[in-house]
Amino acid sequence: MQQIFVNEEPIEGRFTVTGDDMHHLVRVVRIKKGEIIRVSTAAGNNYLCAVSDILDKELLVDVNEQVNSTELSNKIYLFQAIPKGDKMETIIEKTVELGVYEIIPVQMKNCIVKLDDKKKKNKLSRYQTVALTAAKQSKRSIVPAIHDVISFKEAMEYAANLDLLLLPYESKNGMKDTYDVINGLQKGQSVGIFIGPEGGFDESEIELVKDKCKLISLGRRILRTETAAICSLSMLMLKSEELELQ
């Protein structure tokens, strides 16, 4: 089933689809009258709609039913150190599928990659496209926001009002603390998770956050930065989904 994201709610039970979405559905997918698509609005509402008419520059779809949100009850903010190559795209794709709410790329001291303003702009556009594609594939109710690259200090300031801050750290021993922290998560709490670069966190960064973040372990093995992000989101997703059942 095809999915699109729109800004507005339906008017008299109908959406009017134009622009790139209309072109993709009509020219690429070759959708036909009567076919069902999923429409998600900026408010996070989701509708199953039937194609009622295909015009020159508009696609009209009528609401059949409103369906439940696929979002987690906990908003998870991923503060991800900039990795090498195209790893960031993999991180965005997989964490969007897992339910991340926002992704904030962070320039940390041990990041190998240093981006200038032009590269940052180009990367951001590409990252947003990856997030949109992943959101459609996984039937998200929203498209997670991808931020501009910020410094570690700016990341800490942005995260200051979140309910819980976590930082997986290779020098942190034992999974018991990790289990206790994850198990203590409450429904509706916001969570910030900081993932370090290939070179690991600098000691000065750990000093800056040690009184604000809970340092956790991801096990006895050393994980790549992209694996650490996916692992962390998987644990948080599992707990958040569990809370929905209570």
How far apart, in Å, are the Cα atoms of 92 and each of 78, 131, 204, 239?
10, 6, 27, 20
Domain that holds residue 121: 76-244
Q: Which two tokens stand for residue 9?
A: 């709610």
- Cβ atoms 74, 236 nearer than 8 A: yes
Q: How confident is the model at residue 227 (pLDDT cuts 50, 70, 90)?
A: very high
- In this structure, are 62 and 80 located in the same domain? no
Looking at the fold, whether 168 and 48 belong to one and the same domain comes out as no
Is residue 246 pLDDT above 80, yes or no? Answer: no
Q: Write down the pLDDT at residue 171.
A: 57
Look at residues 67, 89, 115 and tell me which one is the last residue of a structural domain.
67
The angle at the Cα of 39, spanning 33 to 42, to the nearest 5 degrees, equals 150
CATH code, domain carrying 96: 3.40.1280.10
Which residue type, as a one-letter code, is found at position 164?
L
Q: Rounded distance, CA 26 to CA 151, Å?
A: 43
User: Per residue in 28-62, pLDDT tens?
Assistant: 999 999 999 999 999 999 999 999 999 999 999 99
- Tell me, yes or no, whether 125 and 215 share the same domain: yes
Listed residue (140, 134, 205) closest to 169, CA to CA = 205
DSSP three-state, residue 46: strand
Indicate the residue among 67, 101, 117 that finishes a domain: 67
Same domain, 203 and 157: yes
Query: Is the pLDDT assigned to residue 173 strictly greater than 70?
Result: no
Same domain, 103 and 214: yes
Predicted local distance difference test score (pLDDT) of residue 85: 87
- Do the Cβ atoms of 7 and 41 come closer than 8 Å? yes
At 174 the pLDDT is 77
Distances (CA, A) of 25 to 46, 85, 104, 227: 18, 32, 31, 34
Place 238 in a pLDDT band, splitting at 50, 70 and 90.
very high
**Are 127 and 56 part of one and the same domain?**
no
Half-sphere exposure of 95 (CA within 13 A, CB side): 33
Are 50 and 168 contained in the same domain?
A: no
Same-domain status, 49 and 146: no
**CATH number for the domain that contains residue 12:** 2.40.240.20
Final residue of a domain: which of 67, 89, 119?
Answer: 67
Structural domains of the chain, count: 2
pLDDT at 114 exceeding the cut of 90: no
- 125 and 28 within one domain: no
Assess whether 184 and 81 both reside in one domain. Answer: yes
Gap between the Cα atoms of 131 and 97, Å rounded: 9
Q: pLDDT band for position 133 (50/70/90)?
A: very high
Q: To 10 degrees, what angle do helices 87-98 and 117-137 make?
A: 40
> Does residue 94 sit in the same domain as residue 151?
yes
Range among 120-124, 130-134, 149-153 with highest mean pLDDT value: 130-134
Exposure pattern of 121-144 as b/e (b: 16+ CB <10 Å)?
Answer: eebbeebbebbbebbbeeebbbbb
- The token duo for 12 is 């008299």
For 209, the 3-state DSSP assignment is helix
Residues 110 and 21 in one domain: no
